[in-house]
Structure 1
Amino acid sequence: MTPAPRKSTRWYRVARWLAAAALAVPAVQALAAAPASALPAGWAQVSAGDAHTCAVGTDRSLWCWGANDHGQLGIGTQVDSAVPVRVNGSWRSVSAGWSHTCALSAAGTRYCWGYNGSSNLGLGDQADRLAPRRVVGEPGWSSISVGNALGCGVRADGLGACWGRGTPGGQATLPVLVGKQTWRSLSAQSDNDHVCGVTTAGVRFCWGVNAQGQLGLGDTVSRSAPTRVVGEGTWASVAAGGYHTCGIRSTGALQCWGEEPAFDTLRPVTVSPVTTWASVSSGQGGYCAVTTASNLYCAPARGQLALTASQIASVDLATSGEGAHACAVSIAARLYCWGANDSGQLGLGFAGGRVLAPTLVS
């Protein structure tokens, strides 16, 4: 994702906030601050944002670290942290965006916090939040995915909904339904405003901006509603990137489309190495994927292949205009991060420089 300037737009954001403050908003409820505690014994899931990272422990605790200029760490302050800090509550999953974060509680309730100038949080207004907030009475969720200014998710009833910039109708301050399909997953990449998802029947739909063919529909025509390719076959998952998208077929093949250093195509093409894949994560200029044998592969490679001692269960890749970082959870539930570290987003206790080899967060 290409981030907006953090400091130069301060007064613009203040003006946007003052304008938004006059709007009527739904009831929003906050969580209390978390008590100090030790890191979890293991990690279940990680999500890399633009310059911050969040992860859920095997004990369902939530931790965030890195940049915090808009409160994206969810700890009630705007102070950066180069080490993991705990967010109060019991959690199922987390998705880190540009300067905001959304997560699902253990009960499936959607909470969001951080920057909200483009309705990024889906809370009914455009005011930043320094700690997790939820919309009272909102239906439960099974999964969520946030990018720069767009968030999407699958509700507990299987319907898909999106909020922020790039939603049907332009910009939505609260989640709005997209299509009538029942979804397995949705992946939002709002830096370039496109979304792809897979239905419970394994059918791939994409919509949004398509200037580089990132929708994989065979052309460069943008779509305002979920669109599929008839007869394409079935998919297990998809991951929207900057100007491209990657997905895993039901057969386990990894295919990508759009514009990226390794390919430039309007339709899905199989990428090397040819093997069986379990998961994939896409960023601004590349992707990382994990095989069914728990081996990690990233393209373009930036030292990501150095992790050989511990096999990988899942990986998440984030990018910005100044670099990229990635984090992965091993099958032993250990957490590794590498890449850009200008704001301490690797969680290694220091900020600055770039770490090429996947390094244990401890």
Structure 2
Amino acid sequence: MLIGVVPGATQLSLANAHACVATTRSIHCWGSDRRSQLSEGAIVDGMVVPPLPQGTTVTSVATGWDHTCVLQSGGIVCFGAGAQGAEFPAALELTSIAAGEGRTCALSNAGALLCWGREFGVPLGAPNPSFIRPTLVAEDTAAFDLGTDSVCTVDRENRVRCWGMILATTGTTVDGDPSQPPGALLFGVPPEE
């Protein structure tokens, strides 16, 4: 099924019931808008094009359960249920973004991973879930991704750490280590040959 044609598309992000395609200047989204995750944008070829500041350069788009965030030249813009503002120091150069169920994380070029939104390990629909502002959750990060209710990172020494509600139970718990998020599991990853 052809959804549409987006000239210059550079990235695609899929969520539970909506999706977005990014170009260097805009994003084009379709699907459910029950929590305003598509924004109030113009309709172009059957897709919603959320308004972004004039002259914006889009670096990355991330679709979460019921929100969308765009990493762009002016910072991060979010729509929908995860639209809590994420303010970062101007000197912090962000390189990528990912969204999960009620939370979002962004990675800096120095390897700092900052997350905000619903705390990890708090089930969706829990009464009075805690929302966090952008918080440093990992350093020396080379790669990361978010699941429904967890986040995993690979650091520059090839160690994989996960926390939140994850299914894996074969890792080593690192509770009590102040450099690790509470409940983090550490998995050894052999170095690349």
Structure 1 vs Structure 2 CA RMSD = 3.3
Deviations 1:170-196 (A, max 9, x none): 7333111113x211222112x3x2111
- Name the CA distance, whole Å, in 2 between partners of 1:112 and 1:154: 16
Match among 119, 133, 136 for residue 177 of structure 1? 136
Q: CA deviation at 1:167?
A: 4.2
| Contact kept? 2:150, 2:162, Cα under 8 Å | yes
- Name the CA distance, whole Å, in 2 between partners of 1:233 and 1:71: 43
- Name the CA distance, whole Å, in 2 between partners of 1:39 and 1:135: 33
Structure 1 residue aligned with 2:31: 66
Match among 101, 105, 108 for residue 152 of structure 1? 105
| Contact kept? 1:40, 1:61, Cα under 8 Å | no
Distance 1:158 1:52, change over 3 A: same
Structure 1 residue aligned with 2:125: none
TM-score, structure 2 normalization: 0.73
Greater relative contact order (Cα < 8 A, sep 6+): 1
Alignment of 1:31-46 (within 5 A): 40-46=6-12
- Name the CA distance, whole Å, in 2 between partners of 1:83 and 1:94: 19
What letter matches 2:135 in structure 1?
Answer: V
Match among 164, 181, 187 for residue 229 of structure 1? 187
Match among 83, 93, 96 for residue 121 of structure 1? 83
Match among 78, 86, 94 for residue 141 of structure 1? 94
3-state SS of the aligned residue for 1:228?
strand
Aligned residues: 173
Structure 2 residue aligned with 1:196: 152
Match among 104, 111, 115 for residue 162 of structure 1? 115
Distance 1:121 1:185, change over 3 A: farther
| Contact kept? 1:68, 1:81, Cα under 8 Å | no
Structure 1 residue aligned with 2:22: 56
Please tell me whether residue 101 in structure 1 is matched to residue 68 in structure 2: yes
TM-score, structure 1 normalization: 0.41
- Name the CA distance, whole Å, in 1 between partners of 2:185 and 2:156: 15
Distance 1:152 1:196, change over 3 A: same
What percent identity do the matched residue pairs reach? Answer: 26
Distance 1:161 1:65, change over 3 A: same
| Contact kept? 1:55, 1:63, Cα under 8 Å | yes
- Name the CA distance, whole Å, in 1 between partners of 2:136 and 2:172: 26
Alignment of 1:1-362 (within 5 A): 40-57=6-23, 59-75=24-40, 83-89=46-52, 90-105=57-72, 107=73, 109-115=75-81, 120-123=82-85, 135=87, 137=89, 139-167=92-120, 171-179=130-138, 181-189=139-147, 191=148, 193-210=149-166, 212-213=167-168, 216-217=170-171, 224-230=182-188, 232-234=189-191, 250=192
What letter matches 1:202 in structure 2?
Answer: N
- Name the CA distance, whole Å, in 1 between partners of 2:65 and 2:58: 21
Larger Rg over CA atoms: 1
From the two aligned structures, give the one with the greater helix fraction: 1
Gaps of 5+ in 1: 1-37, 124-133, 235-249, 252-362
Moved over 4 A (4+): 167-170
- Name the CA distance, whole Å, in 2 between partners of 1:102 and 1:47: 10
| Contact kept? 1:122, 1:175, Cα under 8 Å | no
| Contact kept? 1:49, 1:96, Cα under 8 Å | yes
Q: CA deviation at 1:199?
A: 1.4
- Name the CA distance, whole Å, in 2 between partners of 1:205 and 1:218: 9
Deviations 1:98-122 (A, max 9, x none): 11011100x272221101xxxx334
| Contact kept? 1:158, 1:184, Cα under 8 Å | yes
Q: CA deviation at 1:156?
A: 3.5
- Name the CA distance, whole Å, in 2 between partners of 1:157 and 1:43: 27
Gaps of 5+ in 2: 123-128, 176-180
